[in-house]
Structure 1
Amino acid sequence: MTYPFSIHSDEFTGKRVLVTGGTKGMGAAMVERFRISGARIATTARSEPDDVQEGVLFIKADISTSAGTSAIADRIDREWGGLDILVNNVGGTSTKRGDFEALTDEDWQTILDVNLLGAVRLDRVFLPDMMARNAGAIIHIGSVSHLLPFANSTLAYAASKAALRTYSKGLSKVAAPHGVRVNMISPGFIETTGAQGMIQDVARNQAIPEDAARKLIMDMLGGVPIGRTGMPEEVAELAAFLASERAGFVCGVDYVLDGGTIQTV
């Protein structure tokens, strides 16, 4: 993997970093960014990847469950004795035919467990030690969907990310006096492998070139004024900044990283 931006190889030397869901997409980019910057880096996923980057501690766990959170906490405590930086990146949803009424109670609970309660559980485990040491950073990865919700079956996902935003802001107020900064990143249309698959599906279903399919999706979101999709590494750069000492006065912020899609907030 060739990282597209210049970095300092010792920027995070000595820092213990956990990025959940870091085996693909934005998570993988963030894992790589911290790894090549000198951090001790760990990541999680529900299934073990075919290959794990050298030097990356992989923990097989489902953070949407209490048992998964406990497995992560136990392994981190055993290997490192705590964390300096926590990036709650895991998130996602599945779509169903129909609008909001197609979502069952079970659907809502699953989506809340993945996109909100997983982060809540991990913060509850790692934040007290950060506060006791008067140092640390927590970053929640959201989505512009909480500002741009649709009335279809993705509504539960948008609502869960809205809840994450409110939770993140509230948590920042209790953590900040103890030297821990809590912030959030809400990406727009980032061209991950999953997004590329969606582009290919649209191109195939509409019988149009992939460039046209990409533009069609961008237009459905209301347009991307910057004129292109985002790169996972651009999310990783913002995460690295928020985790660094350069962001020492940044606290309780939700950074919308969407190329200008959201016109007003």
Structure 2
Amino acid sequence: MSYSLNEKIALVTGGTKGIGKAIADTLHRAGATVVITARTAPKDGENDHYFIAADLSTPDGALTVSANLLEKYGRVDIIINNAGANTSPNGGYSTLSDEDWNHEFQLNLMSAVRINKALLPSMVAQKSGVIINISSGAAMLPLWDITIPYSAAKAALNAYSKGLSGELGPKGIRVLTVSPGVVRTPLMEEFIDNMAEAMNISTDEAAKTLVEKVGNLPLGRMAEPEEVANLVGFLASDEARYLTGTNYLVDGGLMPVV
């Protein structure tokens, strides 16, 4: 399989670090011209892609990205909605404010909805395109004391993705979802650090507690960002041209369902 993306224009939101950076680099190696977004620019020497600064948890952020991208390239062929994070405080329902819930949905659901709405007219006009929404295994395995708003937002993203695939399939556009499990990223390390501080335990103990909460990992380790990116690269390519409307778990066998 060639996984060739030559002459394709790809957008990766949240593309400066972690899974997003790995995806951007993978698409670039496959021949795509890659545009990345984040709230802050990557450090010098850490980015080979066209960067657009934007806060995608706001309506203006999506408009900034779409206007800038279309002005520079005139079209987009691949959209990877990767921007997202679990940012709410731990502790369950009593610790969560309306603001916490709203922020999780703005960042983890509405950022993708707005980017897609802004850029889909150009895809529809060219009768081709691929949208891959990066969700999370947490959507199917919510942890009451850690991920409830995040899980709910990602579950909504899954439903949105499935519905959108039905609308856009006849227009030549594929929509897919990729749901990573526990991945070794800077955000995951920050999450574990915050968890350790809140529980007054060491980071090693916090990491062990997290693994115990989500269940045993059959493969015995966290995923590396590149292992998620490799699947995304395949799904974005013509080799996957008959795939749409499906959610792919990259969880090392974690999910206890058939």
Q: Percent identity?
A: 39
Q: Which residue of 1 aligns with 2:51?
A: 58
How do 1:100-115 and structure 2 match up within 5 A?
100-115=93-108
TM-score by length of 2: 0.92
The 1:123–1:201 alpha-carbon spacing in structure 2 relative to 1, beyond 3 Å, is closer
Report if the CA contact (8 A) 1:52-1:58 is conserved: no
Aligned counterparts, 1:120-199, within 5 A:
120-152=113-145, 154-198=147-191
Q: Are the equivalent residues in 2 in contact too, given 1:102–1:153 (CA < 8 A)?
A: no
Per the normalisation by structure 1, the TM-score is: 0.89
1:94 and 1:130, CA in 2 relative to 1: closer, same or farther beyond 3 A?
A: same
The equivalent of 2:26 in structure 1 is 33
Query: Hey, what's the Cα distance between the residues in 1 that align with 2:63 and 2:103?
Result: 18
Q: CA deviation at 1:197?
A: 4.2
Query: Quick one: distance in 1 between partners of 2:194 and 2:114?
Result: 35
Distance in 2 between residues matched to 1:201 and 1:117, nearest whole Å: 25
Write out per-residue CA displacement over residues 164-199 of structure 1, whole angstroms, 9 at most, x where no aligned residue: 000000000011111110000010001112323455
CA shift digits 1:100-149 (9 cap, x unpaired)? 13222221111111000110011111122212212110000001111111
- How many pairs does the alignment contain? 256
Q: 1:76 to 1:250 in 2, by over 3 A?
A: same
Q: Deviations over 1:58-100 (max 9, x none)?
A: 0000111111111101110111011000000000132325311
Please state whether the residue corresponding to 1:132 is helix, strand or coil: helix
Structure 1 residues 15 and 238, CA gap change in structure 2 (3 angstroms): same
Letter in 2 for 1:133: Q
The match for 2:37 is: 44
Which deviates the most, 198-207 or 17-26? 198-207
Rate the CA distance shift 1:36–1:50 in 2: closer, same or farther, 3 A: same
SS at match of 1:64: coil
Measured against aligned partners, the alpha-carbon deviations of 1:16-54 in whole angstroms (never above 9, x if no partner) come to 000000111000100111112211100001112212556
* Root-mean-square deviation (Å): 2.1
Aligned-partner residue type, residue 46 of structure 1: R
| 1:224 alignment partner, SS class | coil
State the AA in 1 paired with 2:225.
P
Mapped partners of 2:44, 2:237: distance in 1:
28
Are the aligned partners of 1:139 and 1:184 in contact in 2 as well (CA < 8 Å)?
A: yes
- Which consecutive unaligned segments of at least 5 residues does structure 1 have? 1-6
Distance 1:53-1:78 versus aligned 2 partners, 3 A rule = farther
- In 2, Cα distance between equivalents of 1:32 and 1:116: 24
| 2:88–2:149 Cα contact (<8 Å) kept | no
Change (3 A) 1:103 1:177: same
Question: Is the deviation greater in 103-112 or in 183-192?
Answer: 103-112
